[in-house]
Amino acid sequence: MSILLDVQNIEVVYDQSILAVKQVSLTVPQGAIVALLGANGAGKSTTLKAISQLVTAENGQILSGDILYQGESILGKNPSDVVKQGLVQVLEGRHIFSNLTVEENLRTGGFLQHPSAATLKQALHRIYHYFPRLADKRDTLAGYTSGGEQQMLAIGRALMTQPTLVLLDEPSMGLAPKISREIFELIAQLRAQEGLSFIVAEQNIALAKHYTDLAYVLENDVVNAFGNTQTLYENGTIQRAYLGQSVA
Ligand SMILES: Nc1ncnc2c1ncn2[C@@H]1O[C@H](COP(=O)(O)OP(=O)(O)O)[C@@H](O)[C@H]1O
Ligand SMILES: [Mg+2]
């Protein structure tokens, strides 16, 4: 299986002083769903934003290491160029435009590719196929949709960029268990039907266990364990990380 993303020993600081991530390495095989696990403050969001090159927008800096996407370093690239190469992040907290309709939100995701009207229509059709709830609400202002629908919309908008690798930051946060499962089912479907790959930062270990193949466990800014998610769950490694105990 070929390697889609290869993060090599990165170190990230904010404001030139706050060390947020150190010695984080991880690989994403083509078509994998990879979990990034760890307690609050462990460095999950920072790792994702370092990969998507969005961390510089928060006065963060990747001090050392490298990030290879499809065999090429993307370190220091413009985040929108990274998106054009097929790597997109859905930020934590359902970033949507509340005063635009659901469909207008989706369209904003498609613009980067300068699509023709027909291509854009096709792209919307694809999103509505995977997210029938969004089809029902296409003319509703996004601010009036439910939390689950807003998360689906944020994911749908990212999918409009025609990605190969999608980074999801805590997609289940604040959502009812049933809706969270629905979102992970969609992720599984997108992988099965289109071969998309995912990195999912997640605090819900039951969801991670059920839906992800590989897991990286972050603790105190470093990767403390990695491997098959099921195995790490069965030997207690994942649970211990969330209790804040040492995994070693
Ligand atoms: N924008 C920021 N500026 C300064 N420090 C930050 C910023 N974002 C995160 N941090 C710090 O970096 C560390 C890792 O945070 P984060 O990556 O958000 O972890 P997680 O997503 O696992 O909760 C924490 O100590 C946090 O306080
Ligand atoms: Mg986070």
Tens digits of per-residue pLDDT, 208-234? 999 999 999 998 888 888 999 999 999
Which tokens sit at 73? 């370093």
- Higher pLDDT: 205 or 33? It is 33
Of 11, 13, 15, 18, best ligand 1 pocket probe by most atoms within 8 Å of the beta carbon: 18
Q: Is the pLDDT of residue 202 over 90?
A: yes
C-alpha span between 167 and 28 (Å, rounded) = 11
Q: Which of 247, 188, 205 is nearest to 222 (CA)?
A: 247
| Structure confidence at residue 111 (pLDDT) | 84
Q: Which ligand is nearest to the CA of 47?
A: 1
pLDDT at 86 over 90: yes
235 CB neighbour count, 10 Å cutoff: 12
CA 84–ligand 1 middle distance (angstroms): 27
Best of 10, 14, 26, 52 to mutate for ligand 1, by most ligand atoms within 8 A of CB?
A: 14
Residue 246 reports pLDDT greater than 50? no
CB-based pocket (< 6 A), ligand 1: 14-15, 18, 20, 38, 40-46, 58
**3-class DSSP assignment, residue 140:** coil
Residue type, position 96, single letter: I
- Report the candidate in 235, 236, 210, 201 with the shortest Cα–Cα distance to residue 39: 201
List beta partners, residue 37.
Answer: 202, 217
Sorted by sequence, the CB contacts under 8 Å of residue 50 that are 6+ apart come out as 7, 10, 12, 21, 60, 62, 67
pTM summary value: 0.95
Q: Tell me the average pLDDT of the chain.
A: 94
Tell whether the torsion through CA atoms of 185, 240, 230 and 248 is positive or negative.
Answer: positive
